[in-house]
Amino acid sequence: MMTKYSILAALIAALGGLGAYLMLPHKRKGTRAGLAYKAGAQAAVLALVLFAALLSPLADFVATTFFDLFAVAAVASALLMVTARDPVHSALWFASVVLSTGGLFLLAGASFLAAGTIIVYAGAIIVTFLFVIMLAQMEGRAVYDRAAHSPGPATVSCFVLLWCLLASIATLSTDTSGPIETREQQFRAETSFSRIESLVERFRLHKHSAMLTVIDQASPATNRIHGGEGAEKPQVAGIGGSLYTDHLITAGLSGVLLFVALVGAIVITNPRPRPQATGRGQAI
Amino acid sequence: MTAPDVFTIEILRNYLLVGAALFSLGMLGFLTRRNLIVMFLSVEMMLQGVVLGLIAFGRYHGTWTGQIFTIVILTVAACEASIALALVVVLYQRKSSLDATVWSAVREADAPPIEPVEAEAEPAVAVPGPESYPRLIPAGHEPEHSRQATIERRT
């Protein structure tokens, strides 16, 4: 199973790297640019199909379909954003990435953040559009948009990173059950059995999930997604409750950070006037 | 829409895989593209990849912490956007170009210079439709005018 995933991850990285390399705008002149782009697109589509095969199916068929749809759309738009010649197209593909990840947020039950991300990034993309129209379009199709900066080494390093990440994440599993072999394991099992009785009396235990049981004890009630009766808390109330109790300092620091960034942006865009070379200062 | 009742490790794994792919592709865009605005968008995309992982981990552990972190990341992204776009405006005023390699003089003293890549590029593909204009034969000679950057002209 593990070797299957490793091979699949290596194939995805190799094909995706080849496709991305061919799709990137290159320095060399020639009429074969369009041909290389098409070949790269085919390799990238193959890599995407393999990537979809790497995703494990969920319990629900509809959820699986939607997840795969959003995931493939996000990754494909990301590739097209990186390789688009026109910065306006890049911004549009980025909008597509944000919409797809918003769908993935919804599937993970983070509906407030899905809406928030889409609203915030929609604003950001409009601002980017403004910048592109103000600055880039004045010169027409710029040379630097049609020539990538050292595409070979960059592609290799990025897809080696992708290969490492995919290979290590794809082999994740919780199945650590096995026979007790060493004395240490025996000792640990015995001590935990002796403590179970007190645990049952004091805490709410989760069936089949030691992790949820531990988290239930470790985190305060405001930080848990599920309320006392096991039902999910409402999104905004839950996030707000946690943000302004458990993460109060974080919220304050975020405000400070925003203020500092505001001041920084103003200072950067309005440079201080140069000291006047008149003799007024010396006269005083 | 509600999340599945049991957010298993398989679902977490799927989210982490998509996040990893977005992160690597964003890194590729940041390293290869020369347009400052596209580089900025690539960084935002790397953040999106990280956020996917955070939300999936938060749901997997059944706590709000992942979503709170995401809100913090949104804040940081807003700050980054304001500073980055301010810098883009200033840099554009200096050199009248969004190219990042124009600024290769700002490097470590012992680093090798990046070779200037000015004229070499892929041929521009003419987009059919109202956006592509016919190429007119120039009439008369081009008058002399300054090609200096705007800020130099102003001072």
Query: Which domains can be identified in chain A, with CATH numbers?
Result: 2-170 (1.20.120), 183-269 (no CATH)
What pairs with residue B79 in β-bridges? none
Q: How far is B29 from chain A (nearest CA, A)?
A: 5
A90: distance to nearest CA of chain B, Å? 7
Tokens 């552990």, residue?
A: B61
- Report if residue B130 sits inside a domain: no
Higher pLDDT, A106 or B146: A106
Residue A271 pLDDT greater than 50, yes or no: yes
Nearest to B68 among A107, A111, A239 (CB): A239
- Asked, for residue B107, whether it belongs to a domain, the answer is no
Q: Give which of B65, B136, B131, B114 is closest to A241, Cα–Cα.
A: B65
The whole-angstrom distance between A4's CA and the closest CA on chain B is 16
Q: How far apart are CA A282 and CA A144, in angstroms?
A: 49
Decide if B15 and A104 are in contact by the 8 Å CB cutoff: yes
Q: Is B5 on the interface with A (CB under 8 A)?
A: no
Identify all chain B residues contacting A169, using CB atoms and an 8 Å cutoff.
Answer: 13, 16-17, 20
Tens of pLDDT, residue by residue over A123-153, are 777 777 777 777 765 555 677 777 777 888 9
User: What is the distance between the alpha carbons of residues A274 and A276, in angstroms, rounded to a whole number?
Assistant: 6
- Considering only CA atoms, which of A17, A13, A16 is closest in space to residue A162? A13
Report the alpha-carbon distance of residue A176 to residue A87 in Å, rounded.
48
> Looking at the domain assignment, is residue B76 inside a domain?
yes
Cβ-Cβ contacts under 8 Å between A and B: the total is 307
Q: Domain range spanning residue B52? A: 9-101
Domain contains B34: yes
The whole-number pLDDT of residue B21 equals 94
Top-confidence residue, A259 or A235 = A259
Q: Tokens at residue A239, please?
A: 């996030």
Q: Tokens 């470590």 belong to which residue?
A: B108
> Do B139 and B84 form a contact (C-beta atoms < 8 A)?
no
Are A26 and A147 in contact, with CB atoms under 8 Å apart? yes
Is B120 a domain residue? no
Nearest Cα residue to A244 out of A261, A223, A226 = A223
Q: What is the mean pLDDT of residues A84-95?
A: 86
Average pLDDT rounded to a whole number, residues A15-31: 81
Among the partner residues A144, A219, A269, nearest to B63 by beta-carbon distance: A219
Q: Which residues pair with A224 in a beta bridge?
A: B63
Q: Which two tokens stand for residue A77?
A: 């738009």
Q: At what angle do helices B9-32 and B36-61 cross, to 10 degrees?
A: 170
pLDDT digits over B55-103, tens only?
A: 999 988 888 899 999 999 999 998 998 898 888 888 888 887 788 888 8
Buried b or exposed e, range A130-169, using 16+ CB within 10 angstroms:
ebbeebbeeeebbbbbbbbbebeebbeebbebbbebbbeb
* pLDDT tens readout for residues A92-127: 899 999 999 999 999 988 899 999 999 888 777 777
Segment A202-227 mean pLDDT? 70
The answer to the question of residue B3 being in a domain is no
Residue B81 in domain: yes
- B15 within a domain of the structure (yes/no): yes
Tell me which residue in B32, B51, B117 faces A24 most closely, judged by beta carbons: B32
Q: Can you read off the two tokens belonging to residue A140? A: 């027409």
Residue type, B139: A
CATH number at residue B46: 1.10.287.3510
State the DSSP code for B99: B
Summarised one tens digit per residue, pLDDT across range B93-133 is: 888 778 888 887 788 888 777 666 555 666 666 656 665 56
Question: Smallest CA–CA separation between A43 and chain B, in Å?
Answer: 15
pLDDT of residue B123: 66
Question: Does the pLDDT of residue A281 top 60, yes or no?
Answer: no
Asked if the model's pLDDT at residue A26 lies above 50, the reply is yes
CA distance A137 to A205: 61
Name the domain count of chain B: 1
- Give the per-residue pLDDT at A192: 72
DSSP chain A: -HHHHHHHHHHHHHHHHHHHHHHS--SS-STTHHHHHHHHHHHHHHHHHHHHHHSPP-SSHHHHHHHHHHHHHHHHHHHHHHH-SSHHHHHHHHHHHHHHHHHHHHHTT-HHHHHHHHHHHHHHHHHHHHHIIIIIGGGSS-GGGSS-SSHHHHHHHHHHHHHHHHHHHHT----------SHHHHHHHHHHHHHHHHHHHHSPPPTT-HHHHHHHHHS-GGGBSB-TTSPBPPHHHHHHHHHTTTTHHHHHHHHHHHHHHHHHHHHHHSPPPPPP-STHHHH-
B120 touches A: beta carbon within 8 Å: yes
Which of A144, A160, A216, A236 to mutate against chain B (most B CBs within 10 Å)?
A144
B12: exposed, middle or buried (C-beta count within 10 Å: 0-12, 13-18, 19+)? Answer: buried
